[in-house]
């Protein structure tokens, strides 16, 4: 059974159809890439999956459960977390404090007036685990807003991981990065993927990253599904080459 299934989903904004009848099935443990040019509907599609937009038509199934009408915060609780194309961080907080907030949310502790010593210890251990996994273990005391762009993106991923997702949505994780930062983020995503605990769906503009990481690739064109398949199939698809890849393959 697919861990995430999108069935003929559409999204209309007045007369504009941003996503039209797109279906997607992602298996547990898969790393799926979604590509397409600006205006293809990729981020709108992510917003539909994560609950920021309600679909105009279609259904979204997560782990066999229809979550089409579930609000975003309840999808997080169910096991879907995401990052954003424009980094969403708490610049005035330290890396540790930022990840701790996500950890407390995942544990249902944020609205509690009092947290026991055992719960505080457990939160700290989970935060330290997220920092170690993402390579931020030595930067927990740094203010997030003072970090280089690449480390800010990693901090955002650490915050998402602290929510203990089963599906992690990454919206252009290498946006605005140089070659070295892109290399480091790619290594991190591959490490998370090979850990086997989280299914990853990513939107990415860098075809080097896409073809080095993805098990399968979904291509959107003006809100519609253009093609889907293994990287080699997409690389040799003439319609995809003409529309998106050009000489980059």
Cβ neighbours, 10 Å, residue 148: 11
Structure tokens given for 30: 């898969």
**Beta-bridge mates of residue 65:** 62
- Its CATH class, for the domain covering 1-79+165-249, is alpha beta
pLDDT band of 89, cuts 50, 70, 90? confident
Percent of the chain with pLDDT over 90: 71
Domain ranges of the chain: 1-79+165-249, 86-164
pTM: 0.88
**What distance in Å separates the CA atoms of residue 211 and residue 249, rounded to the nearest whole number?**
9
Instruction: Tell me if 234 sits within 8 A of 219, measured CB to CB.
Output: yes
The angle subtended at Cα 220 by Cα 163 and Cα 203, nearest 5°, is 30
* Strands of the sheet with 224-229, listed across from one edge: 80-82, 167-171, 199-203, 31-35, 216-221, 224-229
- Read off the pLDDT of each residue in 6-31 and give the average, rounded to a whole number: 96
pLDDT digits (tens, 9 = 90+) for 36-66: 988 889 999 999 999 999 999 999 999 999 9
Residue 229 CB-density burial (10 A; 0-12 exposed, 13-18 middle, 19+ buried) = middle
Residue 248 pLDDT greater than 50, yes or no = no
């Amino acid at each position: 059974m697919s861990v995430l299934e999108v069935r003929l989903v559409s999204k209309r904004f007045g007369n504009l159809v941003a996503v039209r009848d797109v279906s997607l099935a992602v298996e547990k443990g898969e790393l799926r890439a979604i590509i397409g040019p600006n205006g293809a509907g990729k981020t709108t599609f992510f917003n539909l999956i994560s609950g920021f937009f309600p679909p105009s038509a279609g259904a979204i199934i997560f782990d066999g459960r229809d979550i089409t009408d579930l609000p975003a915060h309840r999808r997080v609780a169910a096991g879907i977390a995401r990052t954003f194309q424009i980094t969403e961080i708490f610049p005035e907080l330290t890396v540790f404090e930022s990840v701790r907030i996500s950890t407390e949310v995942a544990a249902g502790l944020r609205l509690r007036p009092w947290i026991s010593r055992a719960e505080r210890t457990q939160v700290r251990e989970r935060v330290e685990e997220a920092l170690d996994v993402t390579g931020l273990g030595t930067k927990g005391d740094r203010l997030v807003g003072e970090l280089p762009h690449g480390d800010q993106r990693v901090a955002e991923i650490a915050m998402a991981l602290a929510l203990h997702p089963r599906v992690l949505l990454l919206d252009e994780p290498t946006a605005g990065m140089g070659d070295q930062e892109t290399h480091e983020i790619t290594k991190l995503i591959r490490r998370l993927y090979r850990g086997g605990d989280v299914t990853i769906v990513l939107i990415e503009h860098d075809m080097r990253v896409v073809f080095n990481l993805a098990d399968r690739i979904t291509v959107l064109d003006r809100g519609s599904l253009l093609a889907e398949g293994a990287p080699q199939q997409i690389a040799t698809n003439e319609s995809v080459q003409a529309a998106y890849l050009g000489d980059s393959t």
